[in-house]
């Protein structure tokens, strides 16, 4: 872990050499949502391959660049694409960039993802503010915090009560109302993927209290909370998770990307509106 701390400070120093301002907000864009990066002003882009220790995503719809610049007046560290557990990274490796954004000053994380809707009232294209999560991988033993704890990074036993900041949720709801963007709220369940859920799994996840299901985000939120960041999580409901063996064609990654791209303008307006008022 001392080794990890050194890697974090080294990587933060290298990035700061390209973008010397202190960072205020970290943003992660999920599948198909990378269009948000184009709204960043005075931007410096660095491909993940050029950043030591950064995990590189191999998934279509995840361009894999770090964007530094200003969005709605705030200095942002925007990750255009993320690495996932199913790509072969441990959660600790996949969440390394969170440690770096924190080391560069970010006090707030805005994390987005494309997710399958479990709540029968949801429709593709809806935005859902995450109010809580169910950490299926964590319950099964995989967490980014496994191993010796480095107190410089955070406490051994971080609480998950209030992980999704109620003030930020309230602020996002106010901004949504003002902009005419309907925002759902709900519980996000993370599982490892890359398979989409079977019908029996969808029924189980619904009964467990999930509103949306996806393959990212929870590890990132855990690391952000461990480091003391406040978190706003937003899921774009890109498809409805399927509970029946119906005859319609199953969802594909292309469907997920298409729905995400359509929702990008709405998401950009919401995120900018929230940033203005943080
Ligand atoms: N399931 C899991 N992950 C997802 C889905 C889904 O239906 N849609 C987008 N990410």
Question: How confident is the model at residue 33, as a pLDDT?
Answer: 77
Structure tokens at 41: 């002003």
Known active-site residue 215: yes
Mean pLDDT of 188-212: 95
| Per-residue tokens: 70 | 């200003």
226 is catalytic: no
At residue 262, the pLDDT reads 78
The answer to whether residue 128 is catalytic is: no
Residue with the nearest Cα to atom 7 of ligand 1?
116
Helix (H) or strand (E) holding 3: helix 2-18
What digits encode the pLDDT tens for the residues 68-101? 999 999 999 999 999 999 999 999 999 999 999 9
Domain residue limits, the chain: 2-277
Residues 175-194: what's their mean pLDDT?
96
Q: How far does the centroid of ligand 1 lie from the alpha carbon of residue 238, in Å?
A: 8
First to last CA, the chain: 33
What pLDDT band is residue 214 in, cutting at 50, 70 and 90? very high
pLDDT at 150 over 80: yes
Residue nearest to atom 6 of ligand 1 (CA): 116
148: left (phi over 0), alpha (psi -120 to 50) or beta: beta
Establish whether residue 256 lines the binding site of ligand 1, counting it when its CB lies within 6 angstroms of any ligand atom: yes
Radius of gyration of the chain (CA): 18
In the three-class reduction of DSSP (H, G, I as helix; E, B as strand; rest coil), residue 274 is classed as helix
Closest ligand 1 atom to Cα of 214: 3
CATH code of the region 2-277: 3.40.50.1580
CA atoms within 13 A on the CB side of 14: 16
Percent of the chain residues past pLDDT 70, beyond the cut? 94
- Which of 29-33, 111-115, 181-185 has the weakest average pLDDT? 29-33
Asked if the model's pLDDT at residue 264 lies above 90, the reply is no
Q: Which of 12, 19, 84, 229 is catalytic?
A: 84
237 Cβ closer than 6 Å to some ligand 1 atom = no
Taking the C-alpha atoms of residue 267 and residue 264, their distance in angstroms, rounded to an integer, is 5
Lowest mean pLDDT of 55-69, 123-137, 163-177, name the range: 55-69
Query: What rounded mean pLDDT belongs to the chain?
Result: 92
The strand pair at 127-135 and 65-71 is best described as unpaired
């Amino acid at each position: 872990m001392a080794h990890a701390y050194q890697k974090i400070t080294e990587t933060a120093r290298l990035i700061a050499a390209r973008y010397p301002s202190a960072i205020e907000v970290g943003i992660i864009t999920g599948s198909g949502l990378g269009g948000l990066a184009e709204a960043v002003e005075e931007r410096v882009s660095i491909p993940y391959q050029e950043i030591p220790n950064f995990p590189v995503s191999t998934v279509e719809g995840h361009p894999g660049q770090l964007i530094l610049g200003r969005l709605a007046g705030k200095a942002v560290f925007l990750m255009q694409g993320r690495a996932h557990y199913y790509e072969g990274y441990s959660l600790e490796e996949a969440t390394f960039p969170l440690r770096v954004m924190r080391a560069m000053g970010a006090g707030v994380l805005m994390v987005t993802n494309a997710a399958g809707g479990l709540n029968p009232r949801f429709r593709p294209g809806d935005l859902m503010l995450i109010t809580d999560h169910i950490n299926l991988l964590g319950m099964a033993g995989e967490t980014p915090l496994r191993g010796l704890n480095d107190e410089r990074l955070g406490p051994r036993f971080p609480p998950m009560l209030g992980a999704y900041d109620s003030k930020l949720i309230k602020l996002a709801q106010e901004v949504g109302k003002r902009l005419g963007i309907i925002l759902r709220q709900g519980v996000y369940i993370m599982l490892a993927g890359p398979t989409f859920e079977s019908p029996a799994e969808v029924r189980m996840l619904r009964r467990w209290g999930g509103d949306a299901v996806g393959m990212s985000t929870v590890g990132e939120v855990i690391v952000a909370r461990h480091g003391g960041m406040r978190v706003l999580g937003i899921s774009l409901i890109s498809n409805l998770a399927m509970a029946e063996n119906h005859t319609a064609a199953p969802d594909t990654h292309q469907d997920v990307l298409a729905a995400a791209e359509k929702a990008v303008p709405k998401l950009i307006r919401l995120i900018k509106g929230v940033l203005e008022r943080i």
